[in-house]
Amino acid sequence: MEELKVESQLVLENLDNPNNQSVTPLFQHIIKHRDFYDVLLSENAPIKYLIKFTNCLLDLHYEVIARNVTKGTDFELYLSFSSSATMGMIYHWKKTRYEKSAEEMAYQLTKFFSKDY
């Protein structure tokens, strides 16, 4: 999980650079540690590790949303929604045996949350 936090930092560092905004490092991390995530996202996974992973996603989403949330949006609800949606995408990605590339997953996630969707 520590490595995920470090790699998530790459995403956060690029938030202010519109030419280099990407969540690709998140998906690359999952592919790199695929065996671990296959266990973590299985039915028999220890819940404490799943909670740690979810908290990492929440931390990542917190920073992104804090910079982009629009007035009148309930921040906590949107944070919960976006991190749950990301978890759903990751579960689906595992279920399909990671058939899409990390770059395609990052593109789709970004597209889902963009104003132009």
Residue 37: other Cβ atoms inside 10 A: 20
pTM for the whole thing? 0.78
Instruction: Tell me the residue range of the domain where 16 lies.
Output: 2-112
**Among the residues of the chain, which ranges form H helices?**
2-13, 24-32, 34-40, 47-68, 75-95, 102-112
Q: Round to whole Å and give the CA distance between 43 and 81.
A: 22
Whole-number pLDDT of residue 26 = 87
Please report which confidence band the pLDDT of residue 25 belongs to, taking 50, 70 and 90 as the band edges. confident
Selection from 80, 75, 109 nearest residue 93 by Cα: 109
Structure tokens at 11: 């995403």
Q: Residue 117: inside a domain, yes or no?
A: no
Q: Are 108 and 89 in contact (CB under 8 A)?
A: yes
Count: domains in the chain: 1
Question: Is 45 part of a structural domain of the chain?
Answer: yes
29 belongs to a structural domain: yes
pLDDT in tens, 38-65: 999 998 888 888 888 888 888 877 877 7
Mean pLDDT for the chain overall: 81
